[in-house]
Copies of this chain bind each other. A is one copy, B any other.
Amino acid sequence: MFQAAKQTKVFQDVVAQIQEAILDGRLKTGDTLPSERQLKDTFNISRGTLREALRVLEQKGLIEIKLGVGGGSVVKDLNADQVSEGLALLIRSQKVSLNHLAEFREDVEGIVAARAAARSSAADIDKLTELLGAARKCIDAGLSQRNAFIEIDKRIHMTLAQVTANPIYISVLHSVHDNIHRYYDEFLSMDERELQENYQDLCDLVQAVEKGQADHARQLARDHVHRFNQYMKSREQAKKDNYAAENIKPQIP
């Protein structure tokens, strides 16, 4: 006849209320919530319960909790970090392999390049060209600037994502890069020729974007990423082989 009432726990109610206030704009980025001792009275709950709620909001990326006298819960500017962390957990925990991620990246970078080609402004091209110039300098400086080159490579891709003017691409690509670098950093050791190839890829790509050649840009981006993936895979394989050589008969537990 009757059904269960209020399943929600107290702290969940608090989470919901504060979250709504933030999403509705009643609380804006940078705003500081009242202190815990005030809030607990406002909600008429204990401080422990309130803190559980705040921890959840923090984990959601909605607030940031600062220590000290000027501290408190500050409304954060939402970004892709939570999506990125979620993706990272999926990758680390289970079904998602690096191959999966590499394949996905190939597709996404292709899409981003195509969309960027259809929308780039003169200012966008300027920025990309500037980055290309910085990349050029890294290469000329030799292998010592290898990491700097990789960083600029990443920024070029992220800039393309920004050119699409679609924040989802920015977030997704950011997540992909976050996670792919977490695994690939240890293998980063391109030689001179590979650096040159990568640089040429990027030049061609930016040119295609500038000319608005969406399909061509897509293909160039895909090839570029694909080559990078192949390169990393071979590095990984080499590492495994090396390991095998050192341990002629690996102990199987």
Residues in A lying within 8 Å of B, measured CB to CB: 11, 22-23, 48, 51-52, 55-56, 59-62, 78, 80, 82-83, 85-87, 89-90, 92-96, 100-101, 103-104, 107, 111, 115, 166-169, 171-172
Contacts and interface: CB of A to CB of B under 8 A. Distances in A.
Contacts of A168: 87, 90, 96, 100-101, 103-104
A172 B111 CA distance: 15
A100 B167 contact: yes
A93 B60 contact: no
The 6 closest A-B pairs by CB, nearest first: A82-B86, A83-B86, A59-B59, A95-B167, A104-B168, A107-B111
Nearest to A114: B107
Contacts of A103: 115, 166, 168
A22 B111 contact: no
A34 B93 CA distance: 21
Contacts of A48: 48, 51
Q: DSSP majority for the A interface?
A: helix
B90 A83 contact: yes
A17 to B, nearest CB: 15
A95 B171 CA distance: 11
Contacts of A56: 55-56, 59
B82 A78 contact: no
Nearest to A99: B166
A90 B78 contact: yes
A11 B89 CA distance: 19
**Which of A11, A86, A101, A103 has its CB near the most chain B CB atoms (within 10 A)?**
A86
18 contacts: A11-B55, A48-B48, A55-B56, A59-B60, A60-B89, A61-B89, A62-B89, A78-B89, A78-B94, A80-B86, A83-B86, A83-B90, A87-B171, A90-B167, A90-B171, A96-B167, A96-B168, A100-B168
Contacts of A94: 78, 167
Given A78-B90, A83-B83, A86-B86, 15 more contacts: A11-B55, A22-B93, A23-B93, A51-B52, A52-B52, A56-B56, A62-B89, A80-B90, A82-B85, A83-B90, A87-B171, A90-B168, A90-B171, A95-B167, A101-B168
